[in-house]
Amino acid sequence: MNDPLRAFLIDDEALALRRLSRMLEASGRVRIVGSATDPEAALAALSEESVDALFLDIEMPGLGGFELLARLPIQPFVIFTTAYEHYALRAFAVNSIDYLLKPIEAEQLDRALTKLERLRAAGQPPALRAVMEQLATALKAQSPAYPTRIASRLGDRVQLIELARVACFVAKDKLTYAVAGDKQLVVDATITELEEKLDPARFLRIHRATLVNLDHIAEVHTAFAGGMVVRLKDTRRTELSVARDRARVLKQRLAF
């Protein structure tokens, strides 16, 4: 019997990383030798230790999956894990790479592991660095530049707010507010306009009147009649309702 695949896991979302780890351990077909939410730390670890397989998120802050793979000194077999379907064609275009859409299902994972075992038995993976460099360049060229700050105007004064500090945007009384800490600041945009303008990897519309920063979610609770409630990380533990038609999307984005 072949030894289990030695795998390293990289995903900037800790919840997604823990879920994948549990699924791989339950399969009994993989030995996890390391994992990281910081792609730069993962790159340093992989530069010192070779692995059979890499489970790799594509879109991560700072260093994306394609860029990371292009910089590895030794190319392992790769399974991309991501919530964004438009990367599928890029991933499948490279021989020996599989693609799993979050939230990952057991059947998908089983198929990918079978493919990995077959490819490992056939020999070493092809040199992929040139392909990954092309993909990284193409991804940068196609990715829109999302703002990092938003303006709040009060009379003749304009305050610039770092979007990383904004826990959510809420619409009420015909105005839109950016909620940052204990402050609610009026912004000159509708929730729909903000949804189109801001980075979809960070901001998700969970209700017709609410756009939430996924990085500020601490907990998710089920509610009556199929609804959900998210609880934020702020000191008040603010609760936001999730519309029933948005619950599935939220689960996908948080990978649970």
* Buried/exposed code over 53-76 (b: 16+ C-beta within 10 A; e: otherwise): bbbbbbbbeebbbbbbbbebeebb
Q: Give me the domains of the chain, ranges plus CATH numbers.
A: 5-141 (3.40.50.2300), 149-254 (2.40.50.1020)
pLDDT tens column, 114-170: 888 887 787 655 555 555 555 556 555 555 668 899 999 887 889 999 999 999 999
Note the Cα 176 to chain centre separation in Å: 27
Q: pTM for the full model?
A: 0.53
Work out whether strand 149-154 and strand 157-162 pair parallel, antiparallel, or are unpaired.
Answer: antiparallel
- Taking Cα atoms as reference points, which of 226, 230, 228, 229 lies closest to residue 216? 230
The enclosing H or E element of 27 equals helix 14-27
Q: Which two tokens stand for residue 182?
A: 């204990």
3-state SS assignment for residue 255 = coil
CA pair distance 15, 174, nearest whole angstrom: 35
- Taking Cα atoms as reference points, which of 80, 42, 40, 37 lies closest to residue 63? 40
Give 136-199 as a 3 state SS string.
Answer: HHHHHHHCCCCCCEEEEEECCEEEEEEHHHCCEEEEECCEEEEEECCEEEEECCCHHHHHHHCC
What is the spatial order of strands in the sheet that 217-222 belongs to?
Answer: 217-222, 228-232, 239-242
The enclosing H or E element of 230 equals strand 228-232
Q: Which two tokens stand for residue 247?
A: 């619950």
Mean predicted lDDT score pLDDT of the chain: 83
Q: When comparing pLDDT for 190 and 141, which is higher?
A: 190
**Is the pLDDT reported for residue 88 higher than 70?**
no
**Is the pLDDT reported for residue 104 higher than 60?**
yes
Q: Please enumerate in sequence order all residues whose Cβ is within 8 A of that of 36, keeping only pairs 6 or more positions apart, or say none.
A: 8, 9, 10, 42, 45
